[in-house]
Structure 1
Amino acid sequence: MNSTTTSLPDPYSLPNPFTQLAWLPPDIANQVRNVEFMLAALAGFVVWDVFWSLPEEYKMLSKRRIGPFDVVYVLSRIMMVFFVSTLSIFGRKAVSYSFYFQPLLRKKFLPTVVKYEDCSRQGMVQGWAAGLSTPLTSLLFLIRIRAVFYRNPFIVAFFGVFWLAILGTSLIVPFSPGLKVVPIGDSGYCVNDRLSTLAILGVILAGAFDTLVFLAITVSLLRSHAFNGGPRAWMKMFFTGQGMGSLTRVMLQSGQTYYLATVGFTVTIIALISSPHVSYIYSDSLVPVTAFVSNTMAARVYRKLKLELLKDTVDLGPMVLTTDPLGSSADAMEFQVRTYRNASAISESTAGAPISHEERLGDAVGKYEESSC
Structure 2
Amino acid sequence: MSLPNPNTPLAYLPPTLATQFEVSRYIYAVTLGAYVWDIVINLGNDYKLLFRYKVYFPTVIYYLSRLFTLSYILTSFIFQVASVPNCQALQISLGICMALSQSTTAMLFLLRVLAVWHGNKIASGVFIFLWVTVAIASATVPFGIQGIHIGPTQQCINSQVADYIESTLIMGLINDSAIVAAISYRILRNCAIEDSFGVRVRTFMGGGSIPQLSRALLKGGQHYYLIAVCGNIVMLVLLKDPSVPAVYHGMSSIPVVALINAMACIVFRSIKFGHISADGTTHFRSTDQSRTYLNKPSGSTLPLHVRSTCPQDGDVYTRNTNGTEIKVTQVVELDAEYERDDASLPKTAI
Amino acid at match of 2:86: D
Unaligned runs of at least 5 residues, structure 1: 1-11, 95-115, 242-247, 325-332, 336-351
Query: Hey, what does 2:21 align to over in structure 1?
Result: 32
Q: Is the 8 A contact 1:214 1:256 kept in 2?
A: no
- Partner secondary structure for residue 180 of structure 1: strand
1:356 aligned partner, one-letter code: H
Q: Would the aligned equivalents of 1:323 and 1:334 in 2 still touch at CA under 8 Å?
A: no
Q: Does 1:286 align with 2:252?
A: yes
Per the alignment, in what secondary structure is the counterpart of residue 51 of structure 1? helix
**Any idea what SS the aligned residue of 1:232 has?**
coil
> C-alpha offsets along residues 228-277 of structure 1, whole Å, 9 cap, x if unaligned?
79543232222223xxxxxx8632xx122321x22332222212211221
Counterparts of 1:232 and 1:36 in 2: how far apart (Å)?
48
Task: Give distance in 2, aligned partners of 1:74 and 1:361.
Answer: 31
2:183 equivalent in structure 1: 217
- Give me the whole-angstrom Cα distance separating, in 2, the residues matched to 1:321 and 1:271: 40
2:223 is the alignment partner of 1:256 = yes
Matches within 5 A, 1:78-117: 78-94=67-83, 116-117=84-85
Give the deviation of 1:190 after TM superposition. Answer: 0.8
Give yes or no for contact 2:79–2:91 (8 Å, CA) kept in 1.
no
In the TM superposition, what are the counterparts of 1:5-44 in structure 2 within 5 Å?
Answer: 13-44=2-33
Q: CA deviation at 1:62?
A: 3.0
Task: Say if 1:139 and 1:163, in contact at 8 Å, map to a contact too.
Answer: yes
Q: Does 1:124 align with 2:99?
A: no
Aligned residues: percent identity? 24
CA distance 1:304–1:19, change in 2 (3 Å) = same
- Between the aligned partners of 2:268 and 2:12, the Cα distance in structure 1 is 46
Question: How far apart are residue 322 of structure 1 and its match?
Answer: 7.3
Partner residue in 2 for 1:50? 39
Give the whole-Å Cα distance in 2 for the aligned partners of 1:353 and 1:39: 53
Aligned to 1:369: 338
1:142 aligns with 2:110: yes
State the superposition RMSD in angstroms: 3.2
* Pairs aligned (count): 305
Instruction: Give the SS at the match of 2:161.
Output: coil
1:162 alignment partner AA: L
- State the Cα distance separating 1:362 from its structure 2 match: 6.1
- Is residue 356 from structure 1 mapped to residue 323 from structure 2 by the alignment? no
Q: Greater share of helix residues, 1 or 2?
A: 1
Gaps of 5+ in 2: 278-282, 310-327, 343-350
Match of 2:149 in 1: 183
Give the letter for the 1:172 counterpart: T
SS in 2 for 1:334: coil
Please name the residue that 1:270 is paired with: 236
TM-score, with structure 2 as normaliser: 0.78
What pairs with 1:222-261 in structure 2 (closer than 5 Å)? 222-227=188-193, 231-241=206-216, 250-251=219-220, 254-259=221-226, 261=227
Residue of structure 2 equivalent to 1:347? none
What CA distance in whole angstroms lies between the structure 1 residues aligned with 2:38 and 2:259? 10
Secondary structure, aligned partner of 1:308: coil
TM-score between the two structures when normalised by the length of structure 1: 0.73
What is the CA–CA distance in structure 2 between the aligned matches of 1:62 and 1:132, rounded to whole Å? 25
| Offset, 1:334 | 2.0
> 1:93 and 1:142, CA in 2 relative to 1: closer, same or farther beyond 3 A?
closer
The equivalent residue for 1:157 is 125
Q: Deviations over 1:1-27 (max 9, x none)?
A: xxxxxxxxxxx7212111111111111
